[in-house]
Amino acid sequence: MGTAAQFLPLILLVVLMYFLLIRPQKKREKQTTEMRNSVRVGDEVVTIGGICGKIVKTKDDTLVIEVGADKVKFEIMRWAISKIENRSEGGKKPLEEDDDKEGFAQKKVMPKRMKKAGDNKSQDPVDEPSQEATDEAVEKVEAEIVDTPVDSPLENDEK
């Protein structure tokens, strides 16, 4: 009876650890596995690396996702899915973009084009210093450099 009483706190600690740590972890793993196995073509997902994309093709252990405005496609492992952002409506066919959302047509967002270096003059001129002012500033700095005494190592040795 005395030895059973000594092991009772240890047994209670193991049971408590099971219900507080092990069981919830297994439940989370089961939900994550179920989520990763239920992805379909058209679902928008986020990978564990933070890449957002739309699933284009599914295989046993891999998925092909489409990323960015250029619609770059690359293959990832199924275990690399962190979460599903938007579920597609329907089965295996890809999700088409909705042109009409609550009666409003969506505007396709395109990146802005960079202007060439020669096109800057067509915009408002920026207050740039004139060539004369620049030359004066350079002469001033050169004069300061020439006027500054420099201790040469030879002078230090002679003293």
* Band (87; pLDDT cuts 50, 70, 90): confident
Domain shared by 46 and 87, yes or no: yes
This prediction's pTM? 0.48
Domain CATH code at residue 77: 2.30.30
Assigned domain for 117 exists: no
Assigned domain for 153 exists: no
Residue listed under structure tokens 């986020």: 46
Give how many domains the chain has, as a whole number. Answer: 2
Tokens encoding 12: 């209670």
Assigned domain for 19 exists: yes
Q: Find the domain containing 65 and state its range.
A: 40-91
Assigned domain for 14 exists: yes
Q: What percent of the chain has pLDDT over 70?
A: 68
The edge-to-edge listing of strands for the beta sheet with 62-67 is: 72-77, 62-67, 52-58, 44-47, 81-86
Assigned domain for 20 exists: yes
Domain shared by 84 and 44, yes or no: yes
Whether the pLDDT of residue 10 is over 70: the answer is: yes
Domain shared by 12 and 1, yes or no: yes
Assigned domain for 79 exists: yes
Tell me the per-residue pLDDT of 18-58, one tens digit each, with 9 for 90 and over: 989 999 999 999 999 999 999 999 999 999 999 999 999 99
On whether the CB atoms of residues 42 and 93 are closer than 8 A, the answer is: yes
> Higher model confidence: residue 71 or residue 89?
71
Domain shared by 86 and 60, yes or no: yes
Whether the pLDDT of residue 145 is over 90: the answer is: no
